[in-house]
Structures are given as C-alpha cells and as structure tokens.
Amino acid sequence: MKTVRKLLPTLLLITACAAPEAPVAEAPAPAAATEQVNWAIAIHGGAGVISKSMDGVRKQAYVSGLEEALTVGRDMLAEGAEGLDVVEQVIKVLEDSPLFNAGKGAVFTNDGKNELDAAIMDGRDLNCGAVSGVSTVKNPISLARRVMTDSRHVFFVREGAERFADEMGVARVDPGYFFVQRRWDALQKVLENEEQDAAEKHGTVGCVVLDRAGNLAAGTSTGGMTNKRFGRVGDVPVIGAGTYAKNKTAAISCTGFGEQFIRHTVAHDVSALMEYRGMSVREAAEEVIHKKLDKGDGGLIAVGHNGEIALVFNSAGMFRGAADSSGRFDVAIWE
C-alpha cells in the first residue's frame, strides 16, 4: 500500500519505514473526508466472492493490473488531462487485460459468445453514451464515448452499434480475440452445474474521476455475467443504474448482480441522495449498498464533487484502487 497522508507525519514515517515494499491487497485507510484535493480517481475491477485463498501469483497479477491502470489515470490527471479522456484511457487498460471481465477478458454467454456492454457519462452536462451486446469491438468504452460525442443518441446495441463503430473508425476484432481459456472453463462449470468461484461468474471494470477543472466523469465496461441468456443486458450500459455522473454531486460506477442495480437505479440513487438529502458521497454510497441492496449484490466506486472517494461493497471483495492529488495511491481486494 502506498497511501500518503498529511496527517500524523511522525506516525506515518514510522509506518512507512516498517511497510513492506510489495503492495498489500487489504483495504486502504479511508481518505480524510475534509481534505480538499484538486483531482481524484477511483477504479474497480469487479466485485464478488473473491477467494482469499487465491494463489499469490494470481493475486499479484490483479494488484499489478489495478496499479497499472491507476498509474495511467493518476499521471494524466496530475498533468491536467480532461476527466473523460482519463476515464476512457484507464478503462482501455483494464479492457485490454485478460484478468478483468471487460474487453479481452469478457465472460462467455450461455451460447458460448462474448457480448460486451459499456457506458460513459460527462458530469458537466449529463451527456452520455452506451453500447450493449457488441461482440467485435475491441474497446467498448471508446465506442460508448463516440456514441456520446458523435451521435444524436445515447444508446446503441448489437449490430447497429458495430455499424456505428465502423463509421467512427473504432477498432473491431474477430470474435476469437475475446477467447480466454479460464473464462471458457468457467462457462463449462456453470453449464455442468458445478460449484464455481463467483468472481469467475461476473466482474466489470469502472473508473470515476474528478479532474483539475472540477469536472466529474464516469465510465463502466463489462462482459456481463457468465452464462447470461440471449439478449440479456445488465446495469452497466443503463445510465443511472451502473453508471452516472453529475458535476453537482458525484461520478459513480457500479459492479455486481446487474439486475439488482437496475431495480434500484443504484448510481443515480447515490447522486439523488446527495442532491436531495445533502449526504456526502460516502454516506450516500453506504446507504444504497448496505441498506437498499441485498448482501452479496456487489459494490460501487464514486468520487464526489469535492474529491471525496467512496469505495463501498457488500460482497466478500471488490478489486479497487484510488488516487488523488494529496498523494494517495492504493489498491485493495478485500475488506
């Protein structure tokens, strides 16, 4: 863990001297809620029953994957990049990794295909773009962004979305690009009704950002859930369910049992609790995740207009990371 705080410098010095070099995947200390920051970023790589007995090599791979994405975002934000650019680039890093259930690492449907969903939202003006059910788009988050910026619409699906990708020059790949043996084996296990680690059944990646200009942006990308039925769409591309951003309140990206996140319009609910009830981003996120959803449903990441970061989940774990202009930089998997 590389968390840096301005508080208690002496204690921190001692802690820093004693801290191991290797990143630790336990929960980071929460950021001081009152500390004002110029920019902030949070990412997730999915929530679920993530086994603590995961072998060390695999655990390190997840930690490294999260750190790589977070580093890209941190460096861009520190240089003054626009929030939407950061969200897209960070999610592309996660989509290109076979570890996370998005892009390259997407899970398989019941039909043995990969059908990907993504959404992006601009907190400045509520503009947004989403795609669902694409099976040949290498980086669905980039296509979602083009839907937002280059069409009159906000949501394209399946073949229509892929035609739009061609019009926009967004890279398409052969569906075989998405084959990952571990994901295929996970589908076979489910089809055979065998016990399977829930972390293999779903996942998702997300990024929320407050940039130096004070603007919020959110993005989420997923392969959905292993064994999903034909035409199933989860929460990720549904604006207000899995993804939401509004400069007045927060940027939010969710992960978990998508049907539940749609029923409870989770991302928008966090924003609404802040706007109408005056809650902080962390209070609002905890209210929704712990009081409205069922235990095990999943979690969310959010960054408030003041730079406060919330990383909240009701499942056994959530791959996540956070950084801000105070020097905070940490990733974690479990509580």
Identify whether 243 is a catalytic site residue.
no
Q: Is 224 in the site for ligand ASP (CB under 6 A)?
A: yes
Residues 156 to 215: which contact ligand ASP by CB under 6 A? 202-204
Nearest approach, Cβ of 127 to ligand ASP (angstroms)?
Answer: 22
133 vs 242, beta carbon nearer ligand ASP:
242
Q: Which residue has the closest beta carbon to ligand ASP? A: 258
> Which is the catalytic residue, given 3, 109, 204, 220?
204
Nearest approach, Cβ of 235 to ligand ASP (angstroms)?
Answer: 5
Nearest approach, Cβ of 258 to ligand ASP (angstroms)?
Answer: 2
Task: Pick the binder of ligand ASP from 105, 129, 133, 256 (CB under 6 A).
Answer: 256
Nearest approach, Cβ of 242 to ligand ASP (angstroms)?
Answer: 6
The rounded Cα 57 to chain-centroid distance in angstroms is: 23
- Report the distance separating Cα 232 and Cα 262, nearest Å: 12
Nearest approach, Cβ of 257 to ligand ASP (angstroms)?
Answer: 6
Task: Pick the binder of ligand ASP from 88, 235, 308, 324 (CB under 6 A).
Answer: 235
Number of residues counted as binding ligand ASP (CB under 6 A): 14
Q: Mask of contacts with ligand ASP, 3-42, x by CB under 6 A?
A: ----------------------------------------
Q: How is residue 316 written in tokens? A: 């056994």
Q: Mask of contacts with ligand ASP, 44-83, x by CB under 6 A?
A: --x-------------------------------------
Q: How many CA atoms lie within 13 A of 245 on its CB side?
A: 32
* Choices 54-62, 176-184, 255-263, 324-332; region in contact with ligand ASP by CB under 6 A: 255-263
Residues 104 to 123: which contact ligand ASP by CB under 6 A? none
45 vs 83, beta carbon nearer ligand ASP:
45
Nearest approach, Cβ of 206 to ligand ASP (angstroms)?
Answer: 8
Are the C-beta atoms of 96 and 68 separated by less than 8 Å? no
Matching residue, tokens 């773009």: 129
Q: Is 145 in the site for ligand ASP (CB under 6 A)?
A: no
Are the C-beta atoms of 39 and 78 separated by less than 8 Å? yes
Task: List C-alpha distances in Å: 76 to 67, 73, 180, 308.
Answer: 14, 5, 30, 19
215 vs 260, beta carbon nearer ligand ASP:
260
Nearest approach, Cβ of 204 to ligand ASP (angstroms)?
Answer: 3
Q: Is 269 in the site for ligand ASP (CB under 6 A)?
A: no
Which active-site residues does the annotation give?
Answer: 204
Residues within the interface to ligand ASP (CB under 6 A): 46, 202-204, 222, 224-225, 234-236, 242, 255-256, 258
